[in-house]
Chain A
Amino acid sequence: MTLRDLVVIRLGVAVNLVIGQVAAALLLPVFLDTIGTVLVAALVGPRAAIVAGLTSQVLNAVLSGNFTWLPFGLVQIVIALYAALAARLGAFRRLSTAIPAGLLLGLVAASASAPISYFLFGGVTAGGVTAVTTVIRALGAPLPVAVAAASYSTDLLDKSLVFALVAVVLRSLPHQMAVRFPMLAR
Protein backbone atom coordinates (compact mmCIF):
# COMPACT_ATOMS: atom_id res chain seq x y z
CA MET A 1 0.00 0.00 0.00
CA THR A 2 1.49 3.37 -1.03
CA LEU A 3 1.56 6.55 1.06
CA ARG A 4 -1.00 8.02 -1.34
CA ASP A 5 -3.33 5.07 -0.71
CA LEU A 6 -2.91 5.64 3.04
CA VAL A 7 -3.90 9.29 2.70
CA VAL A 8 -6.96 8.35 0.61
CA ILE A 9 -7.94 5.73 3.23
CA ARG A 10 -7.62 8.37 5.97
CA LEU A 11 -9.85 10.66 3.92
CA GLY A 12 -12.38 7.82 3.52
CA VAL A 13 -12.41 7.15 7.26
CA ALA A 14 -12.87 10.86 8.05
CA VAL A 15 -15.72 11.08 5.51
CA ASN A 16 -17.40 8.04 7.11
CA LEU A 17 -17.12 9.63 10.55
CA VAL A 18 -18.19 13.14 9.58
CA ILE A 19 -20.86 12.70 6.94
CA GLY A 20 -23.30 11.37 9.55
CA GLN A 21 -23.24 14.92 10.89
CA VAL A 22 -24.59 16.14 7.54
CA ALA A 23 -27.32 13.48 7.59
CA ALA A 24 -28.25 14.53 11.14
CA ALA A 25 -28.29 18.24 10.13
CA LEU A 26 -30.72 17.37 7.34
CA LEU A 27 -32.83 15.24 9.76
CA LEU A 28 -32.55 12.25 7.39
CA PRO A 29 -33.43 8.76 8.67
CA VAL A 30 -30.19 7.28 7.25
CA PHE A 31 -26.63 6.84 8.55
CA LEU A 32 -24.52 7.57 5.42
CA ASP A 33 -21.54 6.22 7.39
CA THR A 34 -20.17 4.11 4.55
CA ILE A 35 -19.69 6.78 1.86
CA GLY A 36 -15.94 6.87 2.59
CA THR A 37 -15.62 3.07 2.37
CA VAL A 38 -17.42 2.98 -0.99
CA LEU A 39 -15.40 5.95 -2.28
CA VAL A 40 -12.09 4.30 -1.32
CA ALA A 41 -13.24 1.04 -2.98
CA ALA A 42 -13.90 2.95 -6.22
CA LEU A 43 -10.70 5.02 -6.09
CA VAL A 44 -8.12 2.58 -4.69
CA GLY A 45 -9.54 -0.95 -4.45
CA PRO A 46 -11.01 -3.58 -2.11
CA ARG A 47 -8.04 -3.97 0.26
CA ALA A 48 -7.85 -0.26 0.99
CA ALA A 49 -11.65 -0.10 1.36
CA ILE A 50 -11.61 -2.92 3.92
CA VAL A 51 -8.93 -1.06 5.92
CA ALA A 52 -11.00 2.15 5.69
CA GLY A 53 -14.17 0.36 6.80
CA LEU A 54 -12.62 -1.42 9.76
CA THR A 55 -10.70 1.68 10.89
CA SER A 56 -13.93 3.69 10.69
CA GLN A 57 -15.72 1.14 12.85
CA VAL A 58 -12.99 1.22 15.52
CA LEU A 59 -12.69 5.03 15.54
CA ASN A 60 -16.47 5.45 15.54
CA ALA A 61 -16.57 3.33 18.69
CA VAL A 62 -13.69 5.29 20.25
CA LEU A 63 -15.20 8.71 19.43
CA SER A 64 -18.74 7.86 20.51
CA GLY A 65 -17.83 5.55 23.39
CA ASN A 66 -20.33 3.03 21.99
CA PHE A 67 -18.17 -0.06 21.59
CA THR A 68 -21.18 -2.28 20.90
CA TRP A 69 -20.80 -1.20 17.24
CA LEU A 70 -17.50 -3.13 16.91
CA PRO A 71 -19.05 -6.44 15.73
CA PHE A 72 -20.63 -4.57 12.79
CA GLY A 73 -17.12 -4.24 11.33
CA LEU A 74 -18.01 -7.40 9.40
CA VAL A 75 -20.64 -5.40 7.49
CA GLN A 76 -17.98 -2.85 6.49
CA ILE A 77 -15.92 -5.70 4.95
CA VAL A 78 -18.94 -6.89 2.96
CA ILE A 79 -19.62 -3.33 1.76
CA ALA A 80 -15.97 -2.80 0.77
CA LEU A 81 -15.84 -5.99 -1.31
CA TYR A 82 -19.20 -5.34 -2.97
CA ALA A 83 -18.38 -1.68 -3.74
CA ALA A 84 -15.02 -2.61 -5.31
CA LEU A 85 -16.77 -5.18 -7.51
CA ALA A 86 -19.47 -2.65 -8.44
CA ALA A 87 -16.79 -0.08 -9.34
CA ARG A 88 -14.97 -2.63 -11.51
CA LEU A 89 -18.24 -3.38 -13.32
CA GLY A 90 -18.76 0.35 -13.94
CA ALA A 91 -21.79 0.78 -11.67
CA PHE A 92 -20.76 4.33 -10.70
CA ARG A 93 -20.65 5.66 -14.29
CA ARG A 94 -24.36 6.59 -14.28
CA LEU A 95 -26.94 7.25 -11.59
CA SER A 96 -29.23 4.80 -13.38
CA THR A 97 -26.80 1.96 -12.60
CA ALA A 98 -25.49 3.30 -9.26
CA ILE A 99 -28.90 3.40 -7.54
CA PRO A 100 -29.92 -0.20 -8.41
CA ALA A 101 -26.42 -1.37 -7.41
CA GLY A 102 -26.89 0.50 -4.11
CA LEU A 103 -30.27 -1.15 -3.56
CA LEU A 104 -28.64 -4.55 -4.08
CA LEU A 105 -25.92 -3.58 -1.60
CA GLY A 106 -28.72 -2.66 0.83
CA LEU A 107 -29.99 -6.24 0.58
CA VAL A 108 -26.48 -7.67 1.00
CA ALA A 109 -25.57 -5.36 3.92
CA ALA A 110 -28.86 -6.01 5.73
CA SER A 111 -28.36 -9.75 5.29
CA ALA A 112 -25.02 -9.33 7.08
CA SER A 113 -26.13 -6.88 9.79
CA ALA A 114 -29.52 -8.37 10.76
CA PRO A 115 -28.05 -11.65 12.14
CA ILE A 116 -25.43 -9.70 14.15
CA SER A 117 -28.14 -7.43 15.54
CA TYR A 118 -30.47 -10.35 16.36
CA PHE A 119 -28.07 -12.93 17.74
CA LEU A 120 -25.60 -10.66 19.57
CA PHE A 121 -27.84 -7.81 20.75
CA GLY A 122 -31.39 -9.17 20.68
CA GLY A 123 -32.35 -6.78 17.87
CA VAL A 124 -31.49 -3.62 19.82
CA THR A 125 -28.74 -1.53 18.22
CA ALA A 126 -28.87 1.97 16.71
CA GLY A 127 -31.90 4.03 17.85
CA GLY A 128 -33.61 4.57 14.49
CA VAL A 129 -33.41 0.95 13.36
CA THR A 130 -34.56 -0.30 16.77
CA ALA A 131 -37.55 2.08 16.71
CA VAL A 132 -38.60 0.51 13.39
CA THR A 133 -37.99 -2.98 14.84
CA THR A 134 -40.18 -2.15 17.85
CA VAL A 135 -43.04 -0.84 15.67
CA ILE A 136 -42.96 -3.95 13.44
CA ARG A 137 -42.80 -6.21 16.51
CA ALA A 138 -45.72 -4.33 18.11
CA LEU A 139 -47.72 -5.00 14.92
CA GLY A 140 -47.36 -8.70 15.72
CA ALA A 141 -44.39 -9.83 13.62
CA PRO A 142 -41.99 -12.34 15.26
CA LEU A 143 -38.78 -10.74 16.54
CA PRO A 144 -36.42 -12.21 13.86
CA VAL A 145 -38.81 -10.95 11.14
CA ALA A 146 -39.05 -7.51 12.79
CA VAL A 147 -35.25 -7.20 13.07
CA ALA A 148 -34.74 -8.29 9.45
CA ALA A 149 -37.51 -6.01 8.11
CA ALA A 150 -36.09 -3.00 9.99
CA SER A 151 -32.56 -3.74 8.73
CA TYR A 152 -33.68 -4.19 5.13
CA SER A 153 -35.85 -1.05 5.08
CA THR A 154 -33.12 1.22 6.50
CA ASP A 155 -30.24 -0.35 4.55
CA LEU A 156 -32.02 -0.22 1.18
CA LEU A 157 -32.55 3.54 1.52
CA ASP A 158 -29.13 4.19 3.09
CA LYS A 159 -27.01 2.23 0.61
CA SER A 160 -28.84 3.44 -2.51
CA LEU A 161 -28.25 7.03 -1.31
CA VAL A 162 -24.58 6.22 -0.58
CA PHE A 163 -24.04 4.79 -4.08
CA ALA A 164 -25.86 7.72 -5.70
CA LEU A 165 -23.73 10.24 -3.80
CA VAL A 166 -20.46 8.44 -4.63
CA ALA A 167 -21.50 8.33 -8.32
CA VAL A 168 -22.14 12.11 -8.22
CA VAL A 169 -18.75 12.71 -6.52
CA LEU A 170 -16.89 10.55 -9.08
CA ARG A 171 -18.65 12.28 -12.00
CA SER A 172 -17.73 15.67 -10.50
CA LEU A 173 -14.02 14.81 -10.22
CA PRO A 174 -11.96 17.13 -12.44
CA HIS A 175 -10.10 15.21 -15.17
CA GLN A 176 -6.65 16.09 -13.73
CA MET A 177 -7.69 14.62 -10.39
CA ALA A 178 -9.47 11.56 -11.83
CA VAL A 179 -6.44 10.40 -13.86
CA ARG A 180 -4.44 10.06 -10.65
CA PHE A 181 -6.68 7.14 -9.59
CA PRO A 182 -5.97 4.22 -11.96
CA MET A 183 -8.91 2.23 -10.52
CA LEU A 184 -11.26 4.81 -12.05
CA ALA A 185 -9.91 4.17 -15.54
CA ARG A 186 -10.62 0.42 -15.37
Chain B
Amino acid sequence: MIGYLPGRSSLHRAHPYTPLAVAAGLLFLAFAFRSPAAVWAVVVAAAAFAAAGGVLGAVLRPAAMLALPTWILLTVLHGLLGGPPHLALGPLALSAPGVERALVFGGRIAAILFAFLTALATVAPPRLVEAMTARGVPFGRIYLLVSTLTVVPRMRARVRQIIDAQQCRGLRIGGSPLARVRALGPLVVPLVLSALAEVDEQALALDVRGGSAAGRRTALAPPADHAGDRLVRWTVLVGVVAAYAWKFAGAGR
Protein backbone atom coordinates (compact mmCIF):
# COMPACT_ATOMS: atom_id res chain seq x y z
CA MET B 1 0.00 0.00 0.00
CA ILE B 2 2.68 2.52 1.09
CA GLY B 3 6.20 2.16 2.41
CA TYR B 4 9.07 4.41 3.42
CA LEU B 5 9.49 7.41 1.13
CA PRO B 6 12.99 8.93 1.32
CA GLY B 7 13.07 12.65 2.06
CA ARG B 8 14.74 15.43 4.02
CA SER B 9 11.79 16.75 6.01
CA SER B 10 11.93 17.34 9.76
CA LEU B 11 10.06 14.07 10.27
CA HIS B 12 12.56 12.13 8.17
CA ARG B 13 15.43 13.62 10.22
CA ALA B 14 13.72 13.20 13.60
CA HIS B 15 14.44 10.33 15.95
CA PRO B 16 12.27 7.41 14.66
CA TYR B 17 10.35 7.28 17.94
CA THR B 18 9.10 10.87 17.44
CA PRO B 19 6.85 10.35 14.35
CA LEU B 20 5.61 7.08 15.87
CA ALA B 21 4.77 8.87 19.15
CA VAL B 22 2.93 11.64 17.26
CA ALA B 23 0.95 9.04 15.25
CA ALA B 24 0.03 7.14 18.43
CA GLY B 25 -0.90 10.45 20.12
CA LEU B 26 -3.21 11.35 17.21
CA LEU B 27 -4.87 7.91 17.46
CA PHE B 28 -5.57 8.39 21.16
CA LEU B 29 -6.77 11.97 20.58
CA ALA B 30 -9.19 10.80 17.87
CA PHE B 31 -10.87 8.55 20.43
CA ALA B 32 -10.79 11.19 23.19
CA PHE B 33 -13.39 13.40 21.46
CA ARG B 34 -17.04 12.72 20.69
CA SER B 35 -18.08 15.77 18.66
CA PRO B 36 -17.60 15.89 14.86
CA ALA B 37 -15.85 19.30 15.05
CA ALA B 38 -13.28 18.10 17.61
CA VAL B 39 -12.62 14.80 15.78
CA TRP B 40 -12.19 16.57 12.44
CA ALA B 41 -9.79 19.02 14.13
CA VAL B 42 -7.68 15.93 14.90
CA VAL B 43 -7.96 14.95 11.20
CA VAL B 44 -6.64 18.41 10.24
CA ALA B 45 -3.79 17.96 12.74
CA ALA B 46 -3.01 14.55 11.19
CA ALA B 47 -3.02 16.11 7.69
CA ALA B 48 -0.66 18.84 8.98
CA PHE B 49 1.57 16.08 10.37
CA ALA B 50 1.66 14.52 6.87
CA ALA B 51 2.41 17.92 5.33
CA ALA B 52 5.27 18.45 7.81
CA GLY B 53 6.76 15.20 6.55
CA GLY B 54 6.34 16.31 2.92
CA VAL B 55 4.21 13.22 2.24
CA LEU B 56 0.68 14.68 2.22
CA GLY B 57 0.16 13.95 -1.49
CA ALA B 58 1.59 10.43 -1.22
CA VAL B 59 -0.48 9.61 1.86
CA LEU B 60 -3.73 11.13 0.59
CA ARG B 61 -4.39 8.46 -2.08
CA PRO B 62 -3.96 5.30 0.04
CA ALA B 63 -5.76 6.98 2.96
CA ALA B 64 -8.70 7.84 0.69
CA MET B 65 -8.74 4.35 -0.85
CA LEU B 66 -8.90 2.77 2.61
CA ALA B 67 -11.29 5.32 4.13
CA LEU B 68 -13.81 5.73 1.28
CA PRO B 69 -15.47 2.29 1.53
CA THR B 70 -15.74 2.78 5.30
CA TRP B 71 -17.26 6.26 4.91
CA ILE B 72 -19.82 4.88 2.41
CA LEU B 73 -20.77 2.05 4.79
CA LEU B 74 -20.96 4.51 7.71
CA THR B 75 -23.28 6.77 5.68
CA VAL B 76 -25.53 3.80 4.85
CA LEU B 77 -25.47 2.23 8.33
CA HIS B 78 -25.85 5.43 10.36
CA GLY B 79 -27.17 8.04 7.91
CA LEU B 80 -29.71 6.10 5.83
CA LEU B 81 -30.63 3.45 8.41
CA GLY B 82 -30.33 5.72 11.48
CA GLY B 83 -33.18 6.87 13.73
CA PRO B 84 -35.19 10.14 13.68
CA PRO B 85 -35.15 13.10 13.33
CA HIS B 86 -34.37 12.97 9.61
CA LEU B 87 -32.89 15.64 7.34
CA ALA B 88 -34.09 15.89 3.75
CA LEU B 89 -31.14 15.88 1.35
CA GLY B 90 -32.61 15.87 -2.14
CA PRO B 91 -34.39 12.52 -2.59
CA LEU B 92 -32.65 11.11 0.52
CA ALA B 93 -33.77 11.33 4.15
CA LEU B 94 -30.71 11.11 6.38
CA SER B 95 -30.83 10.59 10.14
CA ALA B 96 -29.47 13.72 11.87
CA PRO B 97 -27.95 11.89 14.87
CA GLY B 98 -26.77 9.15 12.48
CA VAL B 99 -24.93 11.66 10.29
CA GLU B 100 -23.27 13.11 13.41
CA ARG B 101 -22.13 9.64 14.48
CA ALA B 102 -20.91 8.82 10.93
CA LEU B 103 -18.87 12.05 10.95
CA VAL B 104 -17.28 11.12 14.29
CA PHE B 105 -16.44 7.52 13.30
CA GLY B 106 -15.38 8.53 9.77
CA GLY B 107 -13.14 11.28 11.21
CA ARG B 108 -11.49 8.84 13.62
CA ILE B 109 -10.69 6.46 10.77
CA ALA B 110 -9.31 9.31 8.62
CA ALA B 111 -7.12 10.58 11.49
CA ILE B 112 -5.71 7.11 12.23
CA LEU B 113 -4.95 6.46 8.55
CA PHE B 114 -3.29 9.87 7.99
CA ALA B 115 -1.23 9.58 11.17
CA PHE B 116 0.12 6.05 10.73
CA LEU B 117 0.58 6.19 6.95
CA THR B 118 2.67 9.33 7.55
CA ALA B 119 4.75 7.53 10.18
CA LEU B 120 5.17 4.60 7.78
CA ALA B 121 6.29 6.95 4.99
CA THR B 122 8.78 8.93 7.10
CA VAL B 123 10.38 6.37 9.44
CA ALA B 124 13.14 4.41 7.68
CA PRO B 125 13.03 0.79 8.93
CA PRO B 126 16.85 0.50 9.33
CA ARG B 127 16.91 3.68 11.45
CA LEU B 128 14.07 2.31 13.56
CA VAL B 129 16.03 -0.92 14.12
CA GLU B 130 19.10 1.11 15.12
CA ALA B 131 17.02 3.24 17.49
CA MET B 132 15.44 0.15 19.08
CA THR B 133 18.84 -1.52 19.45
CA ALA B 134 20.29 1.63 21.04
CA ARG B 135 17.38 1.72 23.51
CA GLY B 136 18.07 -1.88 24.56
CA VAL B 137 14.93 -3.38 22.99
CA PRO B 138 15.41 -7.18 23.21
CA PHE B 139 16.73 -8.85 20.06
CA GLY B 140 13.65 -11.10 19.86
CA ARG B 141 11.20 -8.21 19.40
CA ILE B 142 13.31 -6.55 16.71
CA TYR B 143 13.77 -9.89 14.95
CA LEU B 144 10.02 -10.60 14.94
CA LEU B 145 9.02 -7.21 13.56
CA VAL B 146 11.69 -6.92 10.88
CA SER B 147 12.42 -10.50 9.90
CA THR B 148 8.76 -11.52 9.49
CA LEU B 149 8.33 -8.87 6.80
CA THR B 150 11.00 -10.66 4.76
CA VAL B 151 9.37 -14.08 5.27
CA VAL B 152 5.88 -13.06 4.11
CA PRO B 153 6.72 -12.65 0.37
CA ARG B 154 8.53 -16.04 0.40
CA MET B 155 5.55 -17.72 2.02
CA ARG B 156 3.15 -16.06 -0.44
CA ALA B 157 5.23 -17.51 -3.29
CA ARG B 158 5.06 -20.93 -1.59
CA VAL B 159 1.25 -20.64 -1.37
CA ARG B 160 1.08 -20.05 -5.12
CA GLN B 161 3.36 -23.09 -5.73
CA ILE B 162 1.20 -25.29 -3.50
CA ILE B 163 -2.03 -24.14 -5.20
CA ASP B 164 -0.50 -24.90 -8.62
CA ALA B 165 0.87 -28.28 -7.49
CA GLN B 166 -2.38 -29.40 -5.88
CA GLN B 167 -4.39 -28.29 -8.92
CA CYS B 168 -2.05 -30.40 -11.08
CA ARG B 169 -2.91 -33.35 -8.80
CA GLY B 170 -6.60 -32.75 -9.47
CA LEU B 171 -7.61 -30.47 -6.59
CA ARG B 172 -10.60 -28.30 -7.52
CA ILE B 173 -10.65 -24.96 -5.74
CA GLY B 174 -14.02 -23.91 -7.14
CA GLY B 175 -17.51 -25.31 -6.74
CA SER B 176 -19.84 -25.22 -3.75
CA PRO B 177 -18.79 -23.53 -0.49
CA LEU B 178 -18.39 -26.97 1.12
CA ALA B 179 -16.09 -28.11 -1.71
CA ARG B 180 -14.01 -24.96 -1.26
CA VAL B 181 -13.76 -25.54 2.51
CA ARG B 182 -12.60 -29.12 1.80
CA ALA B 183 -9.86 -27.70 -0.46
CA LEU B 184 -8.40 -25.76 2.50
CA GLY B 185 -6.74 -28.82 4.06
CA PRO B 186 -4.59 -29.76 1.03
CA LEU B 187 -3.43 -26.13 0.80
CA VAL B 188 -2.86 -25.21 4.45
CA VAL B 189 -1.32 -28.47 5.74
CA PRO B 190 1.66 -28.61 3.31
CA LEU B 191 2.30 -24.88 3.81
CA VAL B 192 2.50 -25.15 7.59
CA LEU B 193 4.35 -28.49 7.65
CA SER B 194 7.01 -27.28 5.22
CA ALA B 195 7.51 -24.14 7.33
CA LEU B 196 7.72 -26.17 10.57
CA ALA B 197 10.33 -28.43 8.97
CA GLU B 198 12.65 -25.42 8.69
CA VAL B 199 12.31 -24.29 12.32
CA ASP B 200 15.40 -26.05 13.71
CA GLU B 201 17.58 -24.97 10.79
CA GLN B 202 16.54 -21.32 11.22
CA ALA B 203 17.02 -21.44 15.01
CA LEU B 204 20.54 -22.79 14.45
CA ALA B 205 21.27 -20.03 11.91
CA LEU B 206 20.15 -17.41 14.45
CA ASP B 207 22.25 -18.99 17.19
CA VAL B 208 25.34 -18.94 14.95
CA ARG B 209 24.76 -15.22 14.37
CA GLY B 210 24.69 -14.53 18.11
CA GLY B 211 20.92 -14.45 18.49
CA SER B 212 21.08 -16.04 21.92
CA ALA B 213 23.89 -13.81 23.20
CA ALA B 214 23.05 -12.14 26.48
CA GLY B 215 23.78 -8.49 27.19
CA ARG B 216 22.98 -5.23 25.50
CA ARG B 217 23.76 -4.93 21.79
CA THR B 218 25.66 -1.99 20.36
CA ALA B 219 23.96 -0.02 17.60
CA LEU B 220 26.35 0.87 14.77
CA ALA B 221 24.79 4.24 13.91
CA PRO B 222 22.10 5.12 16.46
CA PRO B 223 19.90 8.07 15.37
CA ALA B 224 20.41 11.23 17.42
CA ASP B 225 17.69 11.92 19.97
CA HIS B 226 17.70 15.74 20.21
CA ALA B 227 16.06 17.80 22.94
CA GLY B 228 13.46 18.89 20.36
CA ASP B 229 12.48 15.24 19.78
CA ARG B 230 12.07 14.63 23.48
CA LEU B 231 10.05 17.85 23.85
CA VAL B 232 7.67 16.76 21.05
CA ARG B 233 7.16 13.32 22.61
CA TRP B 234 6.51 14.78 26.08
CA THR B 235 4.10 17.34 24.59
CA VAL B 236 2.18 14.51 22.86
CA LEU B 237 1.99 12.55 26.11
CA VAL B 238 0.81 15.57 28.12
CA GLY B 239 -1.72 16.47 25.38
CA VAL B 240 -3.20 12.96 25.37
CA VAL B 241 -3.42 12.80 29.17
CA ALA B 242 -5.06 16.27 29.24
CA ALA B 243 -7.58 15.26 26.52
CA TYR B 244 -8.61 12.13 28.44
CA ALA B 245 -8.79 14.05 31.73
CA TRP B 246 -11.10 16.51 29.93
CA LYS B 247 -13.13 13.63 28.47
CA PHE B 248 -13.58 11.82 31.80
CA ALA B 249 -14.39 15.09 33.54
CA GLY B 250 -17.45 15.13 31.27
CA ALA B 251 -16.42 18.00 29.01
CA GLY B 252 -15.31 15.98 25.96
CA ARG B 253 -18.02 17.15 23.61
Contacts and interface: CB of A to CB of B under 8 A. Distances in A.
Interface of A: 1-4, 6-11, 13-15, 17-19, 21-23, 25-29, 32, 35, 39, 51, 55, 58-59, 61-68, 70, 120-124, 127, 130, 133-134, 137-138, 143, 161, 165, 168-169, 172-173, 177, 180
Given A4-B200, A65-B62, A173-B196, A124 B74 contact: yes
B183 interface: yes
A122 B140 contact: no
A175 to B, nearest CB: 13
11 contacts: A3-B203, A15-B191, A22-B187, A23-B184, A25-B159, A28-B177, A55-B144, A121-B109, A124-B77, A130-B73, A137-B81
B12 interface: no
A124 B73 contact: yes
Given A3-B206, A6-B140, A143-B77, A18 B159 contact: yes
Contact of B77 (A1, A15, A134): A134
A65 B1 contact: yes
A1 B151 CA distance: 20
Contacts of A22: 159, 163, 184, 187-188, 191
Given A3-B212, A11-B199, A67 B188 contact: no
B78 interface: yes
B159 A4 contact: no
Contacts of B76: 134
B147 A10 contact: yes
A51 B184 contact: no
A55 B148 contact: yes
Contacts of A26: 173, 180-181, 183-184, 187
B117 interface: yes
Contacts of A6: 140, 143-144, 203, 206, 211
A21 B188 CA distance: 11
